[in-house]
Structure 1
Amino acid sequence: MRDTTEELQALADRVVERADPGEQIEAFVSRGGETEVRVYEGDVEHFVSAQAEGIGIRVIREGRTGFAYGGTLDEPAIGEVLAEARDNVAFGTVDDHSGLAEPDGVASTEQVLWNDALAQCATDDKIDLAKQLEKLTAGRDPRVRVDDANYADSWGESAVASTRGIRRSGRENGCYVSVSTLADEGEGDAAETQTGFGFSVGREPSEFDLDRASREAVERATRLLGATKPRSRTTTVVLDPFVTAQFLGVISSTLNGDAVVKGRSLFAERLGDEVASPLVTLVDDPTNPEAYTATDVDGEGLAARRNVLIEDGVLRRFVHNSYSARRAGTTSTGNAIRGGFAGTPGVGCLALSLAPGSRDQGAIVADLDDGLLVQQVQGLHSGVNPISGDFSTGAAGLLVSNGEIGAPVREFTIASTLQRMLLDIVEVGSDLDWLPMRSAGMTLVISGVKMSGN
Structure 2
Amino acid sequence: MSGSAAAVAAGVPPAGADRGHRPGGGDGGAAAQATEAELLALCRRVRDQASPGEYVEVVAARNEGTSVKVHGGEVESLTASVTASLGIRVVVDGRAGFAHAGSLADDVVAETLAQARENVAFAEVDPFLTLATPDGVEVVAQPALRNNLVAAIAVDSKVDRALELERRTLDLDPRVTGVRVASYSDGWGSSALCSTNDIEVASSGSHCAAATQPLVVADGQTQIGVGWDATRDPELLDLAEIAADGVERATRLLGAVQPSSGRLPIMLEPRLAATLWGIVAGMLSGEAIVKGRSPFADRVGEVVAASGFTLLDDPTDPAGLGAEEFDGEGLACRRNVLIDGGTLSGYLHNSTTAHRMGVASNACAVRGSRSLPGAGAVALAMMPGSGTPEQLRAPLGEALLVNSFTGLHSGVNPTSGDFSVGGDGLMIRNGELAEPVRELTLASTIQRLMSGVIAIGGELERLPSGSSMPWVVIDDVSIGGS
TM-score range relative to shorter protein: over 0.9
Separation in 1, partners of 2:215, 2:457:
28
Select which of 370, 378, 382 maps to 2:406: 378
Quote the residue 2:120 is aligned against: 89
Residue 187 of structure 2 corresponds to residue 164 of structure 1: no
The SS at the match of 2:38 is helix
Separation in 1, partners of 2:259, 2:458:
29
Quote the residue 2:171 is aligned against: 139
The SS at the match of 2:78 is strand
After TM superposition, the structure 1 = structure 2 runs for residues 331-350 of structure 1, keeping only pairs within 5 Å, are 331-339=360-368, 341-350=369-378
Select which of 423, 431, 437 maps to 1:403: 431
**Does the Cα contact within 8 Å between 2:148 and 2:206 map onto a contact in 1?**
no
The SS at the match of 1:113 is helix
The SS at the match of 1:99 is coil
TM-score, normalization: structure 2?
Answer: 0.91
What is the Cα deviation at residue 204 of structure 1?
A: 2.4
Residue 242 of structure 2 corresponds to residue 213 of structure 1: yes
What is the Cα deviation at residue 439 of structure 1?
A: 2.8
After TM superposition, the structure 1 = structure 2 runs for residues 316-335 of structure 1, keeping only pairs within 5 Å, are 316-335=345-364
Separation in 1, partners of 2:449, 2:203:
39
The SS at the match of 1:85 is helix
Quote the residue 2:334 is aligned against: 305
Quote the residue 1:295 is aligned against: 324
Alignment length, in residue pairs?
Answer: 449
Residue 268 of structure 2 corresponds to residue 239 of structure 1: yes
Separation in 2, partners of 1:425, 1:278:
9
Select which of 290, 300, 314 maps to 1:271: 300
The SS at the match of 2:348 is coil
Quote the residue 1:261 is aligned against: 290
Separation in 2, partners of 1:34, 1:264:
37
Deviations 1:98-144 (A, max 9, x none): 12111111111011212232122111111111111111111111012
What is the Cα deviation at residue 403 of structure 1?
A: 1.3
Quote the residue 1:423 is aligned against: 451
The SS at the match of 2:242 is helix
Select which of 185, 196, 202 maps to 1:152: 185
Task: Give the root-mean-square deviation of aligned CA atoms.
Answer: 1.2
What is the Cα deviation at residue 349 of structure 1?
A: 0.3
**Does the Cα contact within 8 Å between 2:303 and 2:344 map onto a contact in 1?**
yes
What is the Cα deviation at residue 31 of structure 1?
A: 0.6
What is the Cα deviation at residue 331 of structure 1?
A: 1.2
**Does the Cα contact within 8 Å between 1:176 and 1:202 map onto a contact in 2?**
yes
Quote the residue 1:391 is aligned against: 419
Select which of 259, 282, 289 maps to 1:230: 259
Quote the residue 1:453 is aligned against: 481
Separation in 1, partners of 2:308, 2:253:
31
The SS at the match of 1:93 is coil
Separation in 2, partners of 1:268, 1:438:
26
**Does the Cα contact within 8 Å between 1:36 and 1:153 map onto a contact in 2?**
yes
Quote the residue 1:126 is aligned against: 158
After TM superposition, the structure 1 = structure 2 runs for residues 25-174 of structure 1, keeping only pairs within 5 Å, are 25-111=56-142, 112-144=144-176, 145-174=178-207
Separation in 1, partners of 2:422, 2:111:
50
TM-score, normalization: structure 1?
Answer: 0.96
Select which of 351, 354, 357 maps to 2:385: 357
The SS at the match of 1:155 is strand
Hey, which bits of structure 1, 4+ residues long, moved more than 6 A?
A: none
What is the Cα deviation at residue 40 of structure 1?
A: 1.1
The SS at the match of 1:13 is helix
Q: Percent identity?
A: 44
Separation in 1, partners of 2:286, 2:130:
16
Separation in 2, partners of 1:442, 1:179:
23
Separation in 2, partners of 1:362, 1:315:
30
Select which of 175, 178, 192 maps to 2:211: 178
